[in-house]
Amino acid sequence: MISNLCNQIFEQCINDYHVKNEIDFELVNPYQTATIEFLLYKKNWIDTAQWHMEDVVRNPKIDCSEGLKWKRRIDASNQERTDLVEYIDSYFLERFKGAEPKATAKVNTESPAWAIDRLSILALKIFHMREEAERTGASEQHRASCGEKLSVLLQQRTDLSQSIDELLSDIENGDKYMKVYKQLKMYNDPNLNPILYNLNKEKNG
């Protein structure tokens, strides 16, 4: 089942990242290029690095100019994440291109890759909530509270994993069909963001 593969790779990737625990540590993807395993590992590596960028930028003592630099890095990372989700959806489109939707087939509220995106983020929540639940320097009340939250996250992973597997089975059986929309993000596009294209207009006279 694809969810088992996802959860295994996401856990592996998060553990690999935390060996160095450095945002700028160079990714060494252990999987063969252009495989679904390669894409899943790369996807989670982006998410893991961005998770820690979000921690840094929330430091109330951060210098404003430094905070802006981190915000722009987060924006660039988020665009890379979005692009990779679309690559993963392309994998599933190719995989199920021979599936014939039934007359009663329905489209899902989200594509398989966007559901997998949530599973990747959930893996990070589980890792860091477990850290808090086991943190020796924290109070017993804090550890107990985080332990309860961890149980909820683990159940959420079970439910989401099952839903992803059922979605892919439904697509393969023709009970549902894939319909993928490109994200068409506007804020990074100098032709669509009015702040950017007005700046270009001023620059060009």
What digits encode the pLDDT tens for the residues 144-171?
999 999 999 999 999 999 999 999 999 9
User: What is residue 185's predicted lDDT score, i.e. its pLDDT?
Assistant: 62
153 domain residue, yes or no: yes
User: What is residue 188's predicted lDDT score, i.e. its pLDDT?
Assistant: 65
Q: What total number of domains does the chain contain?
A: 1
Q: Mean pLDDT across the stretch 9-38?
A: 95
Angle, CA of 77, 81 and 87, to the nearest 5°: 145
User: What is residue 186's predicted lDDT score, i.e. its pLDDT?
Assistant: 64
Which residue reads 């996250």 in tokens?
A: 153
Angle, CA of 5, 25 and 131, to the nearest 5°: 60
Gap between the Cα atoms of 157 and 122, Å rounded: 7
The reported pTM is 0.89
Mean pLDDT (the chain, rounded): 92
Tens of pLDDT along 98-145?
Answer: 999 999 999 999 999 999 999 999 999 999 999 999 999 999 999 999
205 domain residue, yes or no: no
62 domain residue, yes or no: yes
Residue 30 in this model has a pLDDT that exceeds 90 = yes
Q: What is the residue range of 147's domain?
A: 2-200
Gap between the Cα atoms of 203 and 51, Å rounded: 36
HEC readout, 88-132: HHHHHHHHCCCCCCCCCCEECCCCHHHHHHHHHHHHHHHHHHHHH
Angle, CA of 69, 73 and 76, to the nearest 5°: 140
Between the alpha carbon of residue 178 and those of residues 6, 42, 75, 82, 201, the distances in Å are 20, 23, 28, 18, 40
Q: Mean pLDDT across the stretch 170-183?
A: 88
Residue 184 in this model has a pLDDT that exceeds 80 = no
26 domain residue, yes or no: yes
User: What is residue 187's predicted lDDT score, i.e. its pLDDT?
Assistant: 64
User: What is residue 128's predicted lDDT score, i.e. its pLDDT?
Assistant: 98
Angle, CA of 155, 156 and 160, to the nearest 5°: 120
Lowest mean pLDDT among 53-67, 129-143, 191-205: 191-205
- Token couple for 155: 């159940």
